A and B are shown apart, each in its own frame.
Chain A
Amino acid sequence: MSKLRLAFRLARRELRGGLQGFRVFLGCVILGVAAIAAVGTVRESIATGLAREGAALLGGDAEIELTYRFASDEERAWMRSTATAVSEVVDFRSMAVTPGGERGLTQVKAVDAAYPLIGRVRLAPDMPLHSALAGTDGQPGAVMHPALSERLDLEPGDSFRLGTQDFRLMATLRAEPDNATAGFGLGPRTIVATPALDGSGLLAPGTLFSSKYRLDLPAGADLATTKEQAEQTFETGGMRWRDARNGAPGVAEFVDRLGAFLVLVGLSGLAVGGVGISAALRAWLAGKTRIIATLRTLGADQRTIFLTYFIQVGVVALGGLAAGLALGVGLPVALAPLITARLPVPAVFAPYALPMAEAALYSLLAVLIFTFWPLSRTQEIRAATLFRDGSAPARALPRWPWLGVTGALLAALVAVAALFSGNLPLTLWTAGGIAGALILLAIAAQVVRVLARAMRPRTRRPPLGWALAAIGGPGSTAAPVVLSLGLGLSVLAAVGQIEGNLRSAIARDLPTRAPSYFFVDIQKAQMPAFRDRLENDPAVTRLQTAPMLRGIITRINGRPAAEVAGEHWVLSGDRGISYAGAVPERTTITAGDWWPADYTGAPQVSFAAGEAAEMGLELGDEITVNILGRDITATLTSLREVDFSTAGMGFIMVMNDAALAAAPHSFIATVYADPDAEAAILTDISGQMPNVTAIRVKDAIEQVSGLLRGLAAATAWGASATLLTGLLVLIGAAAADQAARTHEAAILKTLGATRGQILRALAIRAGLLGAAAGGVALLAGITGGWAVSRFVMETGFAVIWPSALAIVVGGAGLSLLAGLAFAWGPLRARPARVLRGRE
């Protein structure tokens, strides 16, 4: 009979005894797989939803977006000849003003009669969009997102003003089919008909707007070919192309990245689960020592023994894997209606093969990594063990082939994680962080044991002494408890520190340095009046103005920009560009020279130093920027310090004035004023200059804060899965330890200990271990939080003590809870029965 067949037969006989001893092992596998499968399923469901609804989200089969201008006649002709239908949408920010003087920032979408090409705009009260936009009583109509109409206290039938044009609010928006592409807007949506804006003064030359042309393409049209044709037609037009293959690229990318990040957080859960798996397996195998020794006596070789137990572990792990996949996929699918209602994007919930394969692969590798080590010890059990005390030989490390296999599996896990997340640095940082935290926690567990042993002789109180003996002595559960609880708490602590520091950076530091308002779309002719109003206001502490155009960097040194600088954010869309003669005030040149104040030669550009370094730009490079459809190539002659963290005015690019001054443009202004004066400034400026849009910086900050809160919440949920696994391991450790504690309690009762003293000892022991895990988590969390805040978020860092202390208290509390939950056995133990049971 082959060794494998024999091992299968032996494994089957042992497994007939049931899954006793495998509960924690199973629980860890199930939770680890389920967390990763759930994140993957939600991510894939959204990706599928976005792909399926791509055309509707986009508002057509394809979209061509132009910044700052409308399509030329030639471009329109190409679109008409290519598409079966074309719809033009104009997108810009403006101020909605009520007759009572209430003002609200709004993201205006001006549409033509063809809008929407796909889907339907749903309104309350229910009516066709174009009936609503037609208006009534000679006033053009508008529809508005309820968030804005409620803020402005507008009801359908009321009038409001955009620029100099009055509109009648006809209905509120219930659903906008192409909303996902609207991106991160600062104001709620208002939809009007484009012709109604003719008299509003809002689309004057130089105004910041984008025009989007949605194309309904003939059935079977090849999107890639059409894109190529569009790129040729709009070659110098600064055009951005999107099509239904990826209708909401920004959202899809965001979901993809968040999903990848959460899976990496999920891996920390798997690591905690691995600790539990390893501990559970060691305990289970310890109970098998005599059986293994007996098998060795009967002639079983090392390989047969290993295979026998590997098969048993494999069968149970595969069962756990299947259950974990069912839970991780089933839960989001079952809760689909609830999740869909809360998601701002479409999702199609179903079991998807890819996330299941991802979760299964991660878990298989993790199970192998954490089981090989304990399983390798079965080979060291000799027949002679039967005649000694029945305990397995203690070897600190397995033999080198096992170390090699474990190392290879770890490398494979990291490689798989990097492949799935698509982000090698983040994966390496995460893997390094988890490994670092595990090593730190393992060291901490040893330190706790040494300290407990050292303090034991100094204790006078018996319960404290017993607790220290249990922590420091043989068979201590310090390692699994500190490791499992500590890793979960470390992730939570780091998330807490990062989120807290981000919040305080935004909520506390920024507003003290940030301006009150951004004013955009100020026409050149309006600048004297604008300055006059603000420069003479004693409540205004600082006024900064600059001309602003928008443009896209298309080429660097004659090569496509993306080829040179990759996917840097500066290249991801159009950027604000200013011009100046002399060096503007508060500007620090870090390299090169600013052009002379009266310079009229070939265009020169000054670039933000940090971004230039990230993009690999150097002085002398030729930067081609498409502004208003025209390519301008300028030589990079200086680098400047630009601090975007103050929310003040910061331009990536500033050109010499002769290069841009002739192009149509408007001005942007930042106003720093006393909070009490803000309302009067807004009323005066928007009253005198209806076309000027004011963006209240506090509102923008609040919106960013909300987004960050959402991200932090998602991460905290991911970390909670880790903590839950940690809790399971903790319970497992407590359960595995219960027999030893019951025996100890029986002896102590024999020696005269009361139940109260035994309970105190158990509580002290659990509390001390939990506090130790919490303390290490605090250190790891603060270190992790500092590293991420300092190097990734580039914010300042201060320890958020309430969150930090909550982690220590929470750790001690959780450990105490788990410890006390298993105190009942030792407390009710009848000494005679327990002790005689061990005779």
Chain B
Amino acid sequence: MSDPVLSLSGVSLSLQGNAGPVSILHGITLDVHRGETLGLVGPSGSGKSSLLMVMGGLEQATGGHVSALGHDLTGMDEDALARLRRDHFGIVFQSFHLIPTMTALENVATPLELAGKPDARGRAAEELAAMGLAHRAGHYPSQLSGGEQQRVALARAAAPRPDIVLADEPTGNLDSTNGAAVIDLLFDLRDRHGATLVLVTHAPDLAARCDRVITLDDGRMSRAAA
């Protein structure tokens, strides 16, 4: 098996709540390999999304080690983490998180512009067209439906050809038809570009399409299934 693109060792995460520190993750040790699709499942509040955020450097682990593509995330400052995401990650959220002041095209072009890629807008337009949204390129997020917004978010995540795609309940806010379309696009992304895909989901049928599924319960890995 190839070297892991993501490697977590004894990772724990505590956050400061109003009533004191709250432990979210406990001793997570896990490797994710290139091209693999990993599903994270478990009840609400089990720590799935937090684990995904730790993997993307959006949340700093309070214990253990996290490395991505050979980079140790634990000691990185915020800007170094941002640059790592820029060069290697694509992230998709349940609530899409498009920038409301930017058009669909500008949203997709932003990571390409950040990476200094030539013809960012042209490539963004191609990516939107691939998602079936060429006619919506000049629309602002508030002018798009939920399904369309999530497809724009997918195009944005895919545009820089990331090594790793992290998706946090990408179909959580969509109806079944739109949800299925988004999942197809997400897996197509893995198939076309060989990206590693980690996704959090509540949907059993979506989890079933993954190479491997890890169940979390109260911040601990309770079961891993291939």
Q: Which residues of A contact B (CB under 8 A)?
A: 389, 391, 456-457, 460, 462, 465-466, 469-470, 472-476, 740, 743-744, 746-757, 830-833, 835-836, 838-839
Q: List 7 A-B contacts (CB under 8 A).
A: A389-B142, A466-B102, A473-B101, A751-B111, A835-B95, A838-B95, A838-B97
Q: Are B156 and A751 in contact (CB under 8 A)?
A: yes
Q: Are B113 and A462 in contact (CB under 8 A)?
A: yes
- Chain B: minimal CB distance from A387 (Å): 13
Q: Which of B177-219 contact A (CB under 8 A)?
A: none
Residues of chain B contacted by A750 (CB below 8 angstroms): 56, 58, 85, 91, 97
Which one of A456, A476, A751, A752 has the greatest number of beta carbons of chain B within 10 Å?
A751
Q: Known: A755-B78, A830-B59, A832-B59. Is A747-B99 also a contact (CB below 8 A)?
A: yes
Q: Known: A474-B140, A474-B142, A832-B59. Is A748-B99 also a contact (CB below 8 A)?
A: yes
Which of the residues B58, B98, B99 comes within 8 Å of A832, measured between beta carbons?
Answer: B58
Residues of chain A contacted by B85 (CB below 8 angstroms): 749-752
- Minimal Cβ-Cβ distance residue in B for A391: B142
The answer for the CA separation of A462 and B59 in the assembled complex, in Å, is 24
Which of the residues A389, A469, A474 comes within 8 Å of B106, measured between beta carbons?
Answer: A469
- Chain A: minimal CB distance from B70 (Å): 18
Which of the residues B82, B89, B103, B110 comes within 8 Å of A462, measured between beta carbons?
Answer: B110
- Chain B: minimal CB distance from A114 (Å): 80
Q: Which 10 residue pairs across A and B have the least CB separation, nearest first?
A: A752-B86, A473-B101, A832-B58, A832-B53, A754-B79, A832-B59, A751-B111, A469-B102, A469-B101, A462-B113
Q: Known: A469-B102, A754-B79. Is A462-B49 also a contact (CB below 8 A)?
A: no
Q: Are B99 and A744 in contact (CB under 8 A)?
A: yes
B113-126 CB mask vs A (1 if < 8 Å, else 0) is 11100000100000
Residues of chain B contacted by A748 (CB below 8 angstroms): 99, 110, 114
Q: Which residues of B contact A (CB under 8 A)?
A: 49-50, 53, 56, 58-59, 78-79, 82-87, 89, 91, 93-95, 97-103, 106, 110-111, 113-115, 121, 140, 142, 156
Q: Are A747 and B49 in contact (CB under 8 A)?
A: no
Which of the residues A389, A747, A756 comes within 8 Å of B97, measured between beta carbons?
Answer: A747
The answer for the CA separation of A830 and B121 in the assembled complex, in Å, is 28
- Chain A: minimal CB distance from B166 (Å): 10
- Chain A: minimal CB distance from B123 (Å): 14
Q: Known: A465-B106, A839-B93, A839-B94. Is A753-B100 also a contact (CB below 8 A)?
A: no
The answer for the CA separation of A476 and B114 in the assembled complex, in Å, is 23
Residues of chain B contacted by A389 (CB below 8 angstroms): 142
Q: Are A470 and B78 in contact (CB under 8 A)?
A: no
- Minimal Cβ-Cβ distance residue in B for A746: B97
Q: Are B101 and A470 in contact (CB under 8 A)?
A: yes
Which one of A460, A473, A832 has the greatest number of beta carbons of chain B within 10 Å?
A832
Main secondary structure on chain A at its contact with chain B?
helix
Q: Are A749 and B82 in contact (CB under 8 A)?
A: yes
Residues of chain A contacted by B110 (CB below 8 angstroms): 462, 465-466, 748, 751
Q: A752-B111, A753-B86 are in contact. List 20 more A-B contacts (CB 8 A).
A: A389-B142, A456-B106, A457-B121, A466-B102, A466-B110, A470-B101, A473-B101, A473-B103, A474-B142, A475-B101, A740-B101, A747-B98, A748-B110, A752-B83, A752-B87, A752-B89, A752-B114, A752-B115, A754-B79, A830-B59
The answer for the CA separation of A751 and B100 in the assembled complex, in Å, is 15
The answer for the CA separation of A697 and B50 in the assembled complex, in Å, is 82
Residues of chain B contacted by A473 (CB below 8 angstroms): 100-103, 140
The answer for the CA separation of A116 and B180 in the assembled complex, in Å, is 101
Q: Known: A462-B110, A474-B142. Is A753-B101 also a contact (CB below 8 A)?
A: no
Q: Are A831 and B58 in contact (CB under 8 A)?
A: yes
- Minimal Cβ-Cβ distance residue in B for A470: B101
Residues of chain A contacted by B86 (CB below 8 angstroms): 751-753
Residues of chain B contacted by A831 (CB below 8 angstroms): 58
The answer for the CA separation of A749 and B59 in the assembled complex, in Å, is 12
Q: Are A836 and B49 in contact (CB under 8 A)?
A: yes
The answer for the CA separation of A389 and B100 in the assembled complex, in Å, is 14
Q: Are B99 and A469 in contact (CB under 8 A)?
A: yes
The answer for the CA separation of A462 and B114 in the assembled complex, in Å, is 6
Which one of A476, A744, A835, A838 has the greatest number of beta carbons of chain B within 10 Å?
A835
Q: Are B114 and A753 in contact (CB under 8 A)?
A: yes
The answer for the CA separation of A789 and B77 in the assembled complex, in Å, is 59
Residues of chain A contacted by B111 (CB below 8 angstroms): 751-752
The answer for the CA separation of A747 and B89 in the assembled complex, in Å, is 13
- Minimal Cβ-Cβ distance residue in A for B80: A754
Residues of chain A contacted by B94 (CB below 8 angstroms): 839
Which one of A747, A757, A830, A836 has the greatest number of beta carbons of chain B within 10 Å?
A747
The answer for the CA separation of A470 and B102 in the assembled complex, in Å, is 8
Residues of chain A contacted by B102 (CB below 8 angstroms): 466, 469, 473
The answer for the CA separation of A838 and B99 in the assembled complex, in Å, is 13
Which of the residues B58, B93, B101, B142 comes within 8 Å of A476, measured between beta carbons?
Answer: B101
Residues of chain B contacted by A747 (CB below 8 angstroms): 97-99
The answer for the CA separation of A456 and B103 in the assembled complex, in Å, is 10
- Minimal Cβ-Cβ distance residue in A for B120: A460
The answer for the CA separation of A515 and B18 in the assembled complex, in Å, is 81
Which of the residues B83, B100, B156 comes within 8 Å of A475, measured between beta carbons?
Answer: B100
The answer for the CA separation of A753 and B84 in the assembled complex, in Å, is 10
Residues of chain A contacted by B99 (CB below 8 angstroms): 466, 469, 744, 747-748
- Chain A: minimal CB distance from B175 (Å): 14
Q: Are A751 and B79 in contact (CB under 8 A)?
A: no
Q: Known: A750-B58, A750-B85, A752-B83. Is A465-B114 also a contact (CB below 8 A)?
A: no
The answer for the CA separation of A748 and B56 in the assembled complex, in Å, is 14
Q: Known: A456-B106, A748-B110, A751-B111. Is A756-B100 also a contact (CB below 8 A)?
A: no
- Minimal Cβ-Cβ distance residue in B for A835: B97
Residues of chain B contacted by A835 (CB below 8 angstroms): 58, 93, 95, 97
Q: Are A752 and B82 in contact (CB under 8 A)?
A: yes
Residues of chain A contacted by B78 (CB below 8 angstroms): 749, 755
- Minimal Cβ-Cβ distance residue in A for B90: A751
- Minimal Cβ-Cβ distance residue in A for B105: A457
- Chain B: minimal CB distance from A229 (Å): 79
Which of the residues B59, B79, B93, B113 comes within 8 Å of A755, measured between beta carbons?
Answer: B79
The answer for the CA separation of A752 and B86 in the assembled complex, in Å, is 4
The answer for the CA separation of A243 and B164 in the assembled complex, in Å, is 93
Residues of chain A contacted by B82 (CB below 8 angstroms): 749, 752-755
Residues of chain B contacted by A746 (CB below 8 angstroms): 97
The answer for the CA separation of A836 and B113 in the assembled complex, in Å, is 25
Which of the residues B49, B58, B79, B101 comes within 8 Å of A756, measured between beta carbons?
Answer: B79
Residues of chain B contacted by A475 (CB below 8 angstroms): 100-101
- Chain B: minimal CB distance from A16 (Å): 22
The answer for the CA separation of A831 and B166 in the assembled complex, in Å, is 14
Residues of chain B contacted by A749 (CB below 8 angstroms): 58, 78, 82, 85
The answer for the CA separation of A473 and B100 in the assembled complex, in Å, is 8
Residues of chain A contacted by B103 (CB below 8 angstroms): 473
The answer for the CA separation of A460 and B49 in the assembled complex, in Å, is 34
The answer for the CA separation of A457 and B106 in the assembled complex, in Å, is 8
Residues of chain B contacted by A457 (CB below 8 angstroms): 121
Residues of chain A contacted by B115 (CB below 8 angstroms): 752
- Chain B: minimal CB distance from A286 (Å): 13
The answer for the CA separation of A755 and B49 in the assembled complex, in Å, is 24
Residues of chain A contacted by B106 (CB below 8 angstroms): 456, 465, 469
- Minimal Cβ-Cβ distance residue in B for A749: B82
The answer for the CA separation of A755 and B97 in the assembled complex, in Å, is 19
The answer for the CA separation of A753 and B86 in the assembled complex, in Å, is 7
The answer for the CA separation of A38 and B115 in the assembled complex, in Å, is 56
- Minimal Cβ-Cβ distance residue in A for B118: A460
- Chain B: minimal CB distance from A710 (Å): 48
The answer for the CA separation of A470 and B86 in the assembled complex, in Å, is 21
The answer for the CA separation of A389 and B140 in the assembled complex, in Å, is 14
The answer for the CA separation of A832 and B79 in the assembled complex, in Å, is 15
The answer for the CA separation of A831 and B50 in the assembled complex, in Å, is 12
Residues of chain B contacted by A753 (CB below 8 angstroms): 82, 86, 114
- Chain A: minimal CB distance from B1 (Å): 29
Residues of chain B contacted by A466 (CB below 8 angstroms): 99, 102, 110
Which of the residues B56, B79, B100, B156 comes within 8 Å of A474, measured between beta carbons?
Answer: B100
